[in-house]
Amino acid sequence: MKYILSVGLAACAAIALYFIAFQGEVDAPENSASALRSKPSGRILQYGIYERVRGGRIVDSEKTTTGKAVSGVTIQQVEQTERVPAEKDVYFSYQYRLSGIESNSGAKNGVINLKRVLTHPPIILPDGRTKTGSEYMIRGTVKRGEVFAFDGYAFNESYELVEGPWVFQIWYKGTKLVEQTFISYMPGKAAGDQS
């Protein structure tokens, strides 16, 4: 895939989410002041398979596994599942919330640095290199002590269609706050078939 850099999410109310280096921003609940007094934590809000509604272009990105990313795409959730068919144009994503966060300036609003980690089954790139993941820094927008964001991947090339676990993690100040695992599989292949 291409890591999804800029995403809009189409839902029942046509909610649009915009991202900086695939970091998204959504208004947090007003009563989250107590989040600043607590230890940083995170949780997954939704996950699964998404479909492209509109937009999206592939751009170069040296941070990602394949060196490419999808930018400016609007997606909507099709199914909540951890099982993902290894087929072209399949998007799998998750939304997370981090709480008890202070911005880099120590304020309850602002920006923080997060580490985004992805491990996946071996992918052999066209140049012959084998990749098993990526790790890099992203920026999170803090509002009232919380960060709301999406992360995900989309299969765009045949060499990306591999079976196995795709593990996404978000880290803050050396602590893993969220982890989401998806399992990709070859459609039409009988369960347990190793051929």
The pLDDT, as a whole number, for residue 32 is 47
Q: Residue 77's domain spans which residues?
A: 2-185
pLDDT above 50 (res 103) = yes
**Nearby residues of 192 by Cβ (< 8 Å), 6 or more positions away:** none
Domain-located, residue 18: yes
pTM metric for this prediction: 0.76
Please check whether residue 195 lies inside any domain of the structure. Answer: no
Q: Is residue 97 part of a domain?
A: yes
How many domains does the structure of the chain reveal? 1
Q: Tell me, what's the pLDDT at 12?
A: 33
What value does the CA radius of gyration of the chain take, rounded to a whole number of Å? 17
* Whether 153 contacts 1, CB under 8 Å: yes
- For residue 191, is it within any domain? no
Whole-number Å distance between alpha carbons of 125 and 46: 30
In a domain, 102, yes or no: yes
The residue with greater pLDDT, 4 or 114, is: 114
- Give the closest residue to 109 by CA, choosing from 32, 16, 15, 45: 32
Q: Decide if 193 is inside a domain.
A: no
β strands within the chain, DSSP E: 2-4, 7-9, 41-60, 68-79, 83-85, 91-99, 110-124, 130-142, 147-154, 164-172, 175-185
Does residue 81 lie in a domain region?
Answer: yes
- Quick check: is 190 in a domain? no
List, for residues 38-69, the tens digit of each pLDDT value.
Answer: 799 999 999 999 987 876 666 666 666 666 66
Where residue 173 sits, what CATH number does that domain have? 2.60.40.2390
Question: Beta partners for 89?
Answer: none
Q: Which of 12-21, 151-160, 174-183 has the lowest mean pLDDT?
A: 12-21
pLDDT at res. 10: 41
Tens digits of residue pLDDT in 129-155: 999 999 999 999 999 999 999 999 999
Mean pLDDT for 175-184 is 98
Beta strands in 100-174 (DSSP E): 110-124, 130-142, 147-154, 164-172
Where residue 98 falls among pLDDT bands split at 50, 70, 90? Answer: very high
Could you tell me how many residues make up the chain? 195
Residue 150's closest CA among 22, 12, 13?
22
With 70 as the cut, is the pLDDT of residue 161 above it? yes
